[in-house]
Structure formats: C-alpha cells, structure tokens
Amino acid sequence: MFKNFTKKLSSIFISKKIDATTLLELEELLLISDVGIETVDKILDKLKIEKFSDSLDIIEIKTKLGKIILDIIEPFEVKLPKIDKELPLIIFCIGVNGSGKTTTIAKLANHYKAQGYKVILGAADTFRAAATQQLSEWANQMNLEIITGADNSDPASVVYQCVENTINNNFNIGIIDTAGRLQNRSDLMEQLKKMNKVIQNNNLAVIQKTIMVVDSTTGQSTIKQVQEFAKYVSIDGLILSKFDGSAIGGTIVSIINQLKIPIIGIGTGEKKEDLEEFDSNKFIKRMLES
C-alpha cells in the first residue's frame, strides 16, 4: 500500500530538522504517495505549527505526522452497514466501468451470509448478458437467491423486483448491482437516478445504503468520479477496490479530505473473502511501518 514510506521519511529527517528543505522533501514524498496537493498542503500547514523537541528524531516526526493524518481520516471511518431488526437493508452499488462492483457485491454477500443473514442479489446490470451471468455465478457459489432481468430490459424494474422480494420474502438484505457508467454520460446517470428513486419509493419500507465502488489504482481521478456521481445520488460511503494491486495508500487520505465521504471498506483481492472494513488506525500503522 505504501512503498518504503518510513525509509524515505527517515532519510529526509536525517538532518533532525524541520526546515524549508525537509518540508519540501516531505511534500514530495506525500505527493508520490498519492496524497493530492490540497491535502498535502493541509498536512504541512499543521505540521509547521507543531512544537518539536531540539533532539528531534524520526519517532517524533512519525508520531506527529501520523496524528495529523489520523485526525483527517478517522472521522470518516464507517463500518459496514448493520442489519436492522425491523427493516431490511438494501445496498445499492454504483460506480464506473470495471471498478469492482460485482466482485464487491459477492464480498458483501459473503460478509452478511457468514453472519447468518438471508441475502438476495439484484442483477440490475441488464446491458450485458455477461454481467448478469457473472453475478449469477456468485449467487450459485454462495447458494443465494438472485433477481435478474431480460437483456436490455429496464434496470429500474429489476431494482423494484429485488426490493419487493427482499421485503415480501423476509430477506435481511438485498444487494443491487448496476452497470458501470462513466460520470459524463448524463443519460446513464439519469438512469441511475431513476433506479435510486425506485428504492426510495415510500411504499417500500427499507433502509437504503448507496455504496460507490472505486478502483483505488486510478489514484486522484477517483475524486472527480465520486463528485460527479454524488450530483445524481446521495452516496453513503465508498468501498475502495484493488488495494492489493498497485494502489498507493495516500489516495484514501485525499479522498476523505476532499470529498468528506466515509470509507466503508477496502477490497484486497478477487475472492469473496477479500474485503476488509476500513480501520484508520491500522491504515496509519501500515503507512508508518512500511
């Protein structure tokens, strides 16, 4: 997640000084760690007003830097949605093409099924037959019910059927997959809005959580994607997929700082077990121990 962060940090502060040179080097280190410039500025501004001891060492730097970053991210650490005793939960998964939605849905289904909850899936990606098939394979593997629609049928209709089935057949949770869409395709974004409206229908008593799945290897461009999606639907949290790959951890810090949207989970592989809840303390530890 972070490549040799501490090693590089130690080499910057070998001079045991906080001065213009070391701050510039720290700025570069944070930037190559994928923390966006706005967030880097905020971190450095806070660091500059810290009091440091004369015998400044790497532990002191790490502790202060870690605390500054933790203060930014900790308020946005949110656990996976809990199941309510009274009302079923509907998780509506959205995101751009290939971000990891369908795989994340399998991971979420696995998480809730393992706790003994009754889970149903909704394949509202009706654009590609392969998409429905992909989700159906996960459903088969986990022995889950799934609602599908005919190819190119109205995805909002699959959403409706999935929510209705969740309620009428006493499922604890329905998880809805949607087709990947680019945020600049306003027709597809309007369609997303329509699906969202179906879930919000007053006659359907559910708790809705809309989760945007973001590919963490795409770095800073994720910020723009999320901002655009948020213009059409209210997003409760993000799951960042593909953290086992080339993703660099700093993106998380700037996503939180700029978007103020909670991070719910982190995808760490292609298997259904590869989902971690976001833990900000663990994140800082990984960063400072890397």
Ligand X SMILES: Nc1nc2c(ncn2[C@@H]2O[C@H](COP(=O)(O)OP(=O)(O)OP(=O)(O)O)[C@@H](O)[C@H]2O)c(=O)[nH]1
Find the shortest distance in angstroms from Cβ 215 to Mg ion: 12
Find the shortest distance in angstroms from Cβ 225 to ligand X: 12
How are the residues of the chain apportioned to helix, strand and coil, as percentages rounded to the nearest 5? 50, 15, 35
> Which residue, 26, 175, 184, 147, is CA-closest to 89?
175
Q: How many CB atoms lie within 10 A of CB 127?
A: 17
In whole angstroms, what is the distance from residue 90 CA to residue 207 CA?
6
In whole angstroms, what is the distance from residue 256 CA to residue 266 CA?
14
Residue (101 or 209) nearer to Mg ion, CB? 101
Per CB under 6 A, 180 contacts ligand X: yes
Chain positions 98 to 127 lying near ligand X, rule: CB under 6 A, are 98-103, 125
Per CB under 6 A, 133 contacts ligand X: no
Binding site for Mg ion (CB under 5 A): 101-102
Site string for ligand X, 252-281 (x = CB under 6 A): ---------------xxxx---x-------
Which amino acid is located at 12 in the chain? I
**Cβ contact 149:158 at 8 Å:** yes
Residue (13 or 229) nearer to ligand X, CB? 229
Find the shortest distance in angstroms from Cβ 242 to ligand X: 4
Find the shortest distance in angstroms from Cβ 175 to ligand X: 12
Residue (102 or 172) nearer to Mg ion, CB? 102
Find the shortest distance in angstroms from Cβ 125 to ligand X: 6
In whole angstroms, what is the distance from residue 66 CA to residue 68 CA?
6
Tell me which of 62, 111, 242, 272 binds ligand X, using CB under 6 A: 242
Find the shortest distance in angstroms from Cβ 104 to ligand X: 6
Tell me which of 15, 21, 63, 97 binds ligand X, using CB under 6 A: 97
Which run of H or E residues covers position 157? helix 155-168
In whole angstroms, what is the distance from residue 241 CA to residue 128 CA?
22
In whole angstroms, what is the distance from residue 195 CA to residue 125 CA?
11
Residue (123 or 266) nearer to Mg ion, CB? 123
Residue (72 or 131) nearer to ligand X, CB? 131
Q: How do 263-267 and 275-277 pair as beta strands? A: antiparallel
- Number of helical (H) and strand (E) elements in the chain, helices listed first: 11, 8
Residues that bind ligand X (CB under 6 A): 95, 97-103, 125, 131, 180, 241-242, 244-245, 267-270, 274
